[in-house]
Amino acid sequence: MKIQENAVVGLTYELKVSKIEDDIESVPFSVEVRDEEDPFYFLFGQSGLPERFEELLNGKKEGDGFSFSLSVQEAYGEPDDELLVNLPKSQFSQERGFSEDMVKEGEFLPLMDENGYPMQAKVLKDLGESVLLDFNHPLVGFDLHFEGTVIEVREATPDEIAHGHVHGENGEEE
C-alpha cells in the first residue's frame, strides 16, 4: 500500500535543524531520532504536521527511504510575538498538577487548550510573581532536514479516521 489520505504511516528518521542568521546558515544539528525501538506513527492527512512534510511522503510505500528539507516557511514559520504570554505563577500550582521544577526557565509545560487538546509552552523567563511563556512551536524559525525510512503503511480503521489519530500499539490508546 502507498501512503495516501487516511493511511496510518510508520517512520524511522533523524531530524536535523538549521537556522539562517545574518545570511549565514548554521550547520544542521540533530534534534530527534526515531528508530525501530521508537518509530513515529501518524494518520496521513490528519496529522497536524506541516503540509509540505506530508506532500513529500505522499505515494511512498513500506521500505522506501526519504531525505528532504523543509524551509522555515514550509515547516512551522517564523516566531510570533503574540504567542509570548505573561501568566501568573499561581496558575501553575501543585494543586493543578505542576511541580516547582516544571516552572523553570527552559522547561516545557504540558498544558491543554480550551478544547482539551494537549499543547505545550516553553518557560522563557521567571518574573517573580509571573512567568513569560512561549506558545510558539518548538521548531518555529528552523529549517527542518529529514532522513529516514517508511517502515509501515496500512489502512486506518474507521475509529482512527473518526478520532483523527492512530490507535493501538504504535499510536494512542483507544
Question: Residue 56 belongs to a domain with what CATH number?
Answer: 3.10.50.40
Within this chain, do residues 108 and 66 fall inside the same structural domain, yes or no? no
**Please, which residues have CB within 8 angstroms of residue 150's CB and are 6 or more apart in sequence?**
3, 9, 10, 11, 57, 60, 61, 62, 63, 64, 65, 66
Distance separating alpha carbons of residues 10 and 70, to the nearest angstrom: 20
Pair (37, 98) in one structural domain: no
The pLDDT, as a whole number, for residue 116 is: 83
Domain ranges, residue 153: 7-77+139-163
Q: Is the same domain home to 41 and 66?
A: yes
| pLDDT reported for residue 81 | 95
pLDDT by residue for the chain (174 residues), tens only, comes to: 999 999 999 999 999 999 988 888 788 999 999 999 999 999 999 988 999 999 999 999 999 999 999 999 999 999 999 999 999 999 998 888 888 889 999 999 998 888 888 889 999 999 999 999 999 999 999 999 999 999 999 999 999 999 888 987 656 544
Q: How many independent structural domains does the chain possess?
A: 2
In this structure, the answer to whether residues 14 and 54 fall within a common structural domain is yes
Q: Are residues 123 and 145 in the same domain?
A: no
Residue 61 inside a domain? The answer is: yes
Residue 165 has a pLDDT of: 87
* CATH code (residue 110): 2.40.10.330
Predicted pLDDT at 174 = 45
On whether both 26 and 46 belong to a single domain, the answer is yes
In this structure, the answer to whether residues 143 and 62 fall within a common structural domain is: yes
Domain membership flag for residue 59: yes
